[in-house]
Amino acid sequence: MPLIVTGSIGIDSVEAPTGTAEQVLGGSSIYFAAAASYFGPVRVVGAVGEDFPEPFFNTFNHFKIDTEGIEKRAGSKTFRWHGKYHDNMNIRDTISVELNVLAEALPPVPMNYGDSKHIFLANTDPTSQMTLLNSFPNRTLAIADTMDLWINTQREALLELLKQLDGLVLNDSEAILLTGDTNLIRAAEAIEKLGPQFVVIKKGEHGSLLHHADGQVALPAFPAREVVDPTGAGDSFAGGMMGYLASLAEDQTVTLHDLKRAMAYGTVVASYNIEAFSLDRLMNVSRADLDRRFETFQTMLKLES
């Protein structure tokens, strides 16, 4: 069954110690959709401006992303982000951000998307996330991502959204900001009390942490020989994770074991994403490549008796 996602679709400019990339395809829903596409069909709902380059749609086609839900809006401009990474690639500065069409209402959900059961709300404002969520009352699994901007500026809307979610994905600094607790275990427990059944906290090069009613999971990042561009790593992690979960039997209850494997696949997809700017590396990765690296990751994590 197809997975559906909404979030930003943008034009990025990135400065890093490894080089620069000007006016390249970016956005949370696009990194997510590309990563999730290795596991099954993906549909995207979102809007771009009339300045959105037509060649970017070739990338969507490469990943077989269903773009019927993407509206190219006359008179509007595409979301744009310009960031600069420090020598320590865990630290970056936002040079400029232009919300543009991202500040406008979502396009309507195509009627033939109505059978989607797995919903991912990639990083965008919680009002837009709730709008998409409400379009799928018969959903099986709904997970969202968020960021510091929405925690600071739309906290009440975000808290209402959390009550409707099965899971939340966010990074460590956002978990601390949302809860006021610098201990990530306690922060995850506090977020669970706000509504989600499970919480996944991304920690960059230090991996990820899952808090679930049945237990906790801590996974390291996959060791990277070279990091070219970390942009979209968290979104591709979420895409790999959710893509794997959506590939399970539709009526299957998601277990702690399922989530652990999903996080491992997300980690593997993200490890490829950081090897080049934009989606360039994922454009040249196959599902067989992912599975081989997944097996390597499994071997690394195995403790012999």
**Nearest C-alpha neighbor of 128 from the set 234, 47, 41:** 47
Domain ranges, residue 122: 3-301
Q: What is the pLDDT of residue 251?
A: 67
Q: Which long-range contacts (CB under 8 A, 24 or more apart) does 294-299 make?
A: 294/264, 294/265, 294/268, 297/222, 297/264, 297/267, 297/268, 298/264
The CATH number of residue 104's host domain is: 3.40.1190.20
Note down pLDDT in tens along the chain; length 305 residues: 789 999 999 999 999 999 999 999 999 999 999 999 999 999 999 999 999 999 999 999 999 999 999 999 999 999 999 999 999 888 899 999 999 999 999 999 999 999 999 999 998 899 999 999 999 999 999 999 999 989 999 999 999 999 999 999 999 999 999 999 999 999 999 999 999 999 999 998 899 999 999 999 999 999 998 899 999 999 999 999 999 999 997 766 889 999 999 999 999 999 999 999 999 999 999 999 999 999 999 999 987 75
pTM (global) more than 0.85: yes
Compute φ and ψ for 56, nearest 5 degrees.
Answer: -65, -25
Q: Say how far apart CA 305 and CA 285 lie, in whole Å.
A: 34
| Total domains in the fold of the chain | 1
